[in-house]
Structure 1
Amino acid sequence: MGATSTIMPYAKKYAIIFVISTVFSAANVTAGNLAVSQGASNISLTAMLTGTILNMILDPIFIYTLHLGVQGAAIATLISQIVTSAIYVRFFAGGNTFVKVGFSYFKPTSQIYGEIIKIGISTLLLQLLSSLSMSLISNAASNYGDEAVAAIGIVLRIVTLGANVVIGYMKGFRPMAGFNYGAQNYLRLRSAIKSCMQWTTGFCIIWTALIFLLANPILSLFSNDPQVLSIVVPALRANTIMFFTFGLQFTYSTLYLAMGKALAGGILNVCRQGIMIIPVILLLPTMLGLTGIIYAQAVADLLTTIVTIIFAISIHKKLSQVENSVGISN
């Protein structure tokens, strides 16, 4: 997956502990969705913020004060996930929830799993393909030394920070879109789509501008190595140049899934980090070397945007047809 001989010992120390934390992480994602689904979004927010802030506090303590290095970072993550789990356990054990959690309620049926898989398969594929694409990028970067691997890793982290804001917005957009589509309130659905596009695209444009203007001071927080910075500065700008389309991409992939159109939604969902990026990262570096790695995500975003626009036009035509059929004015 791109770990060089010098990076491997650190990767192992971190991974062994981090893998344990993913057990709690998976439980926390499930518990968070259960809390939000019954209107207790404040519990989910409290749990996530507590874990995140605790992780930020513990990181320097374990890494620098206790001299545990990357292993300390993993321990901080594990403790933070356990504390987050404890908050959810307390909430669900308190008896004040609409959704009751217990083994006695576990009565799976093919219908239940069918509905879960139909909508969830795209997210599963997105996670798997995202991991694969990141591995391919890191592996390609390893051919150019530890500095290239470190640079690409920094870029992915910064881009993910911006992407998570958009993804968080989609968590609110998805139930609203699904409810209004199911209730045949197409005027409000269109309003929700427009609002989502405006807010997410506006954020993406501001984020892109900040990255271009403040690339050097931002990156100096991660590394002062001149060799790393010589790669990471152009790489960050290249990976951000198409970020203004991120809101468009996720609005319509989320919309299709919210409307129950699993196949189309799944295609859009995995387009950016799977269908497009994987062949691009396999081809571009063979032609352009390190430059190909740096611009791979931008090319994948451009192709994904073109596909998304085609799907967006299609869904709006269908919505117009449905509105006309039920006598609703556009």
Structure 2
Amino acid sequence: MTQTPVKKLVLKMSGPTIISMLVTSLYNIIDAAFVGHISTEATAAVGVSFAYMTFINAFGFFFGHGSGNFISQALGARNYSDAEKMAATGFLSPFIFGAIAGILGLIFLTPLSRAIGATPDIISQSNDYLFYILIGTPFMMSALTLNNQLRLQGNARYAMIGITSGAVLNIILDAILIYGFEMGVTGASLATLISQFISWIILLIGTRMKGNVHIKLKNFSPTLEHYKQILDGGLPSLCRQALACISTICLNHSAAIYATQGHEAATIAAFSIVSRCMMFAFSIVLGIGQGFQPICGFNYGAKLYARVRESYTFTISIMTVFLLFSAILGFIFAPNIISFFRNEDPELIAIGTRVLRWQCVSFPLIGLSTATNMLLQNLRKTVPATILSMCRQGIFFLPILYIAPLFLGLQGVEMTQAIADVFTFMLAIPMAVKVYKTMSQ
């Protein structure tokens, strides 16, 4: 971590995380394609339910990044006892929290579906999909935490195995349960529950492997100091993911409000499909960034600031090149991409094409803000990291989502993410310059 040439190390560490993120995103793509062949309403129902999945991600990444960043720096400083206590606390906390959230969700299932944007014509299928997802919440949330803990310890390869195993199994079970047993959206949900549970078991076994920090119940230490450390390292992730959840819910409601009458489900489904497409491309960016994070943590802990700077600039450059290439392809082939999911609905294809092209316009700008946010987070610059993480889908996104449709109708909703990306990029520039200069001193 502290001696291998930086560029080689970034590529080496990014490889497994890119594969892990790609396979997970590929599962989302294939899952959407399977559901899309059921009906437009089924696609919309799973789409609105994705807001709850984002909620799970928010707290999984919060505890994972918060505990994982602390663990990587503790290992760099050779504080093994502190690392073990944080590993246990970081794992058990989301499991307990996820269990509580899942139980409450099951009790208030229909109100939850309405709250996340389900319209009357899709609420029944939304309930069906959410049922098994709610049961699996503690396993899904703590699996994300385990994945990030292993990755930030430098064991990205095993973290990849745990996540990709679940994703591949999910794809297989989707085909069996949706088509073989004709279970529809319920089959998609049950496939997710089973596969995520298997992934959880694999990742938990990984913590017992030689070289990894072992998770032991006796080390569970829910103290204010431990949660303060988790908050310092994980707050930016929580804010980013929580706002992604809120923005998804608001987007669902706005899409339904400004949709052409009778096409509410098609409009919601179109936005959901584009979201999954962009997530697929963005997964590579996140994979590169997650490969950069342990390098940053170890070298910053060892006070090797020149290596931190070099890894940061290299990460930005490869992110931006990839995003530009993806944006060009996405813009040109937008109609083909959308029709892959649901080719029987012309309205859905037309709306999805416009939304995808708008997002491709600003896509190359995301690299700088993403890498800068990860750098600030690893350096425990909590306030600027949190502010930057809240911009793309919160501070800028939500006001634009409210204002733009008042003047432009549905087109305003379609343009919202692109406008928010431009403003986030402009804010990230001075933050990047400041932290880079600080490390140069």
Decide: shared fold, TM above 0.5. Answer: yes
Which residue matches 1:297?
417
Which residue matches 2:215?
101
Which residue matches 1:326?
none
* TM-score (norm: length of structure 1): 0.92
Question: How many Å separate the matches in 1 of 2:209 and 2:332?
Answer: 51
Q: What RMSD, in angstroms, separates the aligned Cα atoms of the two structures?
A: 1.6
Question: How many Å separate the matches in 1 of 2:412 and 2:353?
Answer: 15
CA contact (8 A) 1:2 1:141 kept: no
CA contact (8 A) 2:154 2:294 kept: no
- SS of aligned partner of 1:4: coil
Distance change >3 Å, CA 183–CA 35, structure 1 → 2? closer
Deviates more, 1:269-278 or 1:99-108: 99-108
Question: How many Å separate the matches in 2 of 1:313 and 1:97?
Answer: 36
Alignment of 1:117-266 (within 5 A): 117-143=231-257, 144=259, 145-224=264-343, 225-266=345-386
Which residue, 108, 114, 118 being the options, matches 1:3?
A: 118
- SS of aligned partner of 2:333: helix
Q: How many residues align?
A: 320
Which residue matches 2:392?
272
CA contact (8 A) 2:335 2:350 kept: no
Q: What letter is aligned with 1:78?
A: L
- SS of aligned partner of 1:134: helix
Residue by residue over 1:247-266, the C-alpha shift from the partner in whole angstroms, topping out at 9 and shown as x without a partner, is 11101111111112110111
Percent of paired sites with the same residue? 32
Which residue, 111, 130, 137 being the options, matches 2:225?
A: 111
Which residue, 316, 319, 322 being the options, matches 2:439?
A: 319
Which residue matches 2:147?
32
CA contact (8 A) 2:139 2:197 kept: yes
Runs of 5+ in structure 1 lacking a partner? 323-330
Q: 4+ residue runs of structure 1 moved beyond 6 angstroms?
A: none
Distance change >3 Å, CA 2–CA 38, structure 1 → 2? closer
Deviates more, 1:142-151 or 1:67-76: 142-151
Question: How many Å separate the matches in 1 of 2:146 and 2:179?
Answer: 33
Residue by residue over 1:200-240, the C-alpha shift from the partner in whole angstroms, topping out at 9 and shown as x without a partner, is 11110111111012212221211111111111101111022
Q: What letter is aligned with 2:146?
A: A
Shift of 1:187: 2.4
- SS of aligned partner of 1:242: helix
Residue by residue over 1:118-141, the C-alpha shift from the partner in whole angstroms, topping out at 9 and shown as x without a partner, is 121121121211110011111000
CA contact (8 A) 1:212 1:237 kept: yes
CA contact (8 A) 2:400 2:416 kept: yes
Residue by residue over 1:15-57, the C-alpha shift from the partner in whole angstroms, topping out at 9 and shown as x without a partner, is 1111222221112112223323444322211111111111111
Deviates more, 1:256-265 or 1:18-27: 18-27
Shift of 1:147: 1.4
Shift of 1:189: 2.0
Query: Is 1:13 aligned to residue 13 of structure 2?
Result: no
Question: How many Å separate the matches in 2 of 1:108 and 1:11?
Answer: 35
Deviates more, 1:207-216 or 1:36-45: 36-45
Question: How many Å separate the matches in 1 of 2:413 and 2:387?
Answer: 24
Q: What letter is aligned with 2:256?
A: S
Runs of 5+ in structure 2 lacking a partner? 1-115
Query: Is 1:79 aligned to residue 194 of structure 2?
Result: yes
Distance change >3 Å, CA 173–CA 40, structure 1 → 2? closer
Deviates more, 1:148-157 or 1:175-184: 175-184
Query: Relative contact order (C-alpha < 8 Å, sep 6+): which is higher?
Result: 2
Distance change >3 Å, CA 146–CA 285, structure 1 → 2? same
- SS of aligned partner of 2:194: helix
- SS of aligned partner of 1:267: helix
Shift of 1:95: 6.0
Q: What letter is aligned with 1:27?
A: S
Shift of 1:97: 5.2
* TM-score (norm: length of structure 2): 0.70
Q: What letter is aligned with 2:298?
A: F
Distance change >3 Å, CA 102–CA 162, structure 1 → 2? same
Question: How many Å separate the matches in 2 of 1:108 and 1:140?
Answer: 40
CA contact (8 A) 1:3 1:142 kept: no
CA contact (8 A) 1:122 1:265 kept: yes
